[in-house]
Amino acid sequence: MSSQLTEGIRPAGAAESPAVETISMQAALNRALAEILAGDDKAVVLGEDVGRLGGVFRITDGLQKRFGPDRVFDTPLAESGILGMSVGLAMAGFHPIPEVQFDGFTYPAVNQIITQLARMNYRSRGTLPMPVTLRVPSFGGIRAPEHHGESLEALFAHVPGLLVVSPSSPHEAYHLLKYSASRPDPVVFMEPKSRYWQKGSVDFTDAGSPLGSKVVRPGAHLTLVAWGAMVARCLQVAELAAEDGIEIEVLDLRWLKPIDAEGLAASVSRTRRAVVVHEAPLTAGLGAEVAALITQQCFDTLRAPVERVTGFDVPYPSGDLEDEYIPNIDRILFGIQRVLEYRRG
């Protein structure tokens, strides 16, 4: 896992601010993009409304004014064109950072992502690397219309040649975006849009390891595995469970491709029970891969089957139906209860 992520890293950009600040994920991503552009004259940001408007979520706010329209530029409303242009730019020696406005809008660009972006390095026998970081505002939780909330991590993680990562906090967003932009590989960077305006502490001088998973709350009785927006929800669940004397470990998977099998095994070997939480539908969701890895690595120590708490096998709903679809605190607690009460035979 680590060799796949560490080989051939490009310089990440200008030195970070020496301060530790409490800022939103939106601000952390904006600062990371500014530092990437300042430190790499081949880096370009492109997408619908990323220039003058600063993006729908204002992630690119002020970047065009600072770096100019040749470095930060608007594109037509054509996701296949955005990704096709990014592939061409990478072939010409640039380091594109395209944005797709909403996760559901990536569907028209799936051909470019899978048959070109993911395969060009392999197809060219390494002569045409694809240092492209595709930013995708992802998942639900903002009560948006249809196609404005999806959970597509399993689709991208299934494709050889793509790396997939999803930050859960402002600190992770800042450091993981800078690391992703330093890669010579295409990275799908899935930003939990419901967390854009949640604030957290960012240490700009201490990134820690950008690789693998991360224990964000230690525990002894069960491991909750999550990524993106579901990490915060799992932390809420762990707080409630602690009131009843149940110590839940929360593992932020972070990298969805490659998955940190060693980190999973280390956590679950300690707690001997696991629940995987994600927003995507249950069937063939990434939780199935995580559960398989846990079972493979920890079969002899598991006290119960791995439980999955997920979305349902229906199209991702819009608006006020999201609350019925996205795993809530009660559903996660029920999943934990099923695992803790499991008895063999």
What is the residue-wise DSSP string for 6-46? HTTPPP--SPPPS-EEEEEHHHHHHHHHHHHHHH-TTEEEE
Write the CATH number of the domain with boundaries 214-340.
Answer: 3.40.50.920
DSSP run (H or E) holding 164: strand 163-165
Domain with CATH 3.40.50.920 in the chain: 214-340
Rounded Cα distance, 120 and 285, in Å = 26
Contact criterion met (CB below 8 Å) for 303 and 251: no
Catalytic residues: 148
Q: Indicate where the chain has its CATH 3.40.50.970 domain(s).
A: 2-203
Decide: 310 and 334 in contact? Cβ < 8 Å: no
- One digit per residue, pLDDT tens: the chain, 345 residues? 444 565 555 544 444 455 899 999 999 999 999 999 999 999 999 999 999 999 999 999 999 999 999 999 999 999 999 999 999 999 999 999 999 998 989 999 999 999 999 999 999 999 999 999 999 999 998 888 787 889 999 999 999 999 999 999 999 999 999 999 999 999 999 999 999 999 999 999 876 789 999 999 999 999 999 999 999 999 999 999 999 999 999 999 999 999 999 999 999 999 999 999 999 999 999 999 999 999 999 999 999 999 999 999 999 888 889 999 999 999 999 999 999 999 876
Which CATH number does 2-203 carry? 3.40.50.970
